């Protein structure tokens, strides 16, 4: 894989407005999926390192990558939410803060 990283769609435009000329290319589908997975790791790490002030913005970045990964699998945000809600209905969410320590 070539050096570089996946960036948001408007980043080249923003760089041009700043007076520089970005060097970019469009990834093929296999590279795109691989780079999305790497981007998810990057964004989760940024969320984990964020303080409470920056955490919501970093979490939004995680969500943006999750939506892109879902779209790459042919799942739109509405379908993804239905899957999430179904799992929450079946297994619950995380709001009760339950920690499992094993079985007796």
pLDDT tens for each residue of 1-30: 779 999 999 999 999 999 999 999 999 999
The closest of 84, 68, 83 to 34, measured between CA atoms, is 68
- What's residue 2's pLDDT? 74
Which DSSP letter does residue 100 get? Answer: -
Print burial letters for 41-56: b (CB count within 10 Å at least 16), e (below 16).
Answer: ebbeebbeeeeeeeee
pLDDT the model gives residue 1: 72
pLDDT for the residue numbered 8: 96
Q: 45-84, pLDDT tens digit by residue? A: 999 999 999 999 999 999 999 999 999 999 999 999 999 9
Q: Domain ranges for the chain, please list them.
A: 28-90
């Amino acid at each position: 894989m070539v050096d570089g990283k996946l960036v948001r769609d408007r980043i080249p435009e923003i760089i041009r407005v700043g007076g520089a000329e970005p060097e970019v290319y469009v990834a093929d589908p296999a590279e795109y999926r691989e780079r999305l997975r790497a981007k998810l790791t990057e964004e989760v790490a940024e969320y984990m390192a964020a303080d409470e002030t920056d955490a919501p913005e970093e979490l939004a970045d995680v969500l943006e990558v999750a939506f892109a990964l879902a779209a790459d699998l042919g799942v739109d945000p509405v379908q993804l939410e239905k899957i999430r809600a179904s799992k929450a209905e079946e297994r619950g969410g995380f709001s009760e803060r339950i920690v499992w320590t094993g079985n007796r």
